[in-house]
Structure 1
Amino acid sequence: MTAQPTEALSGTLRLPGDKSISHRALMLGGLAVGETTIDGLLEGEDVLCTAAAMRALGAEIERDENGQWHVWGRGVGGLGEPDNVIDMGNSGTGARLLLGILASHPLTAVLTGDASLRGRPMARVTDPLAACGAEFIARTGGRLPLTVVGSRDPLPLDYELPVPSAQVKSAVLLAGLNAPGDTRVVEREATRDHSERMLAYFGATIRRSEIEIEGCMASEIVLSGQPELTGRPVRVPADPSSAAFPLVAALLLPGSQTRLIGVGMNPQRSGLLTTLQEMGGDIEITNAREEGGEPVADLLVRGGPLEGVEVPAARAPSMIDEYPVLAMAAAAAKGRTVMKGLGELRVKESDRLATVARGLNLCGLEIEEGPDSLTVEGVNGRPPGGNNQPIQTELDHRIAMSFLVLGMASERPVQIDDATPIATSFPDFTKLMQDLGAKLTDV
Structure 2
Amino acid sequence: MSQLQSSNSGGQFMDRGRMNQNGVVQPLLTDLYQITMAYAYWKSGKTDDQSVFDLFFRTNPFHGEFTIFAGLEECLKFLDSFHYSDSDIDYLRQTLPEGVENDFFEYLASLTAKDVTLYAIDEGTVAFPRVPIIKVEGPLIIVQLLETTLLTLVNYASLMATNAARYRMVAGKHVKLLEFGLRRAQGPDGGLSASKYSYTGGFDGTSNVLAGKLFNIPVKGTHAHAYITSFSGIGELKTRLLRHKTTGITGDLLDHAVRHRQALAHVLDVSQEESSEGELAAMVSYAIAFPDGFMALVDTYDVKSKVQTSKSSKDKSVTINYDIPINLSQSNGHILQETVNGYFTANDVHARNESLVATNERPCTGALLDLNDAVESSTHLNSASKPNIISINTTTDRQTLTSSAPNAYLPKYVAKSF
Q: Would the TM-score normalized by the shorter structure come out above 0.5? A: no
Higher helix share: 2
Higher strand share: 1
Kindly indicate whether structure 1 or structure 2 has the higher relative contact order, using CA contacts under 8 Å at least 6 residues apart: 2
For normalisation by structure 2, the TM-score amounts to 0.24
For normalisation by structure 1, the TM-score amounts to 0.23
Larger radius of gyration: 2
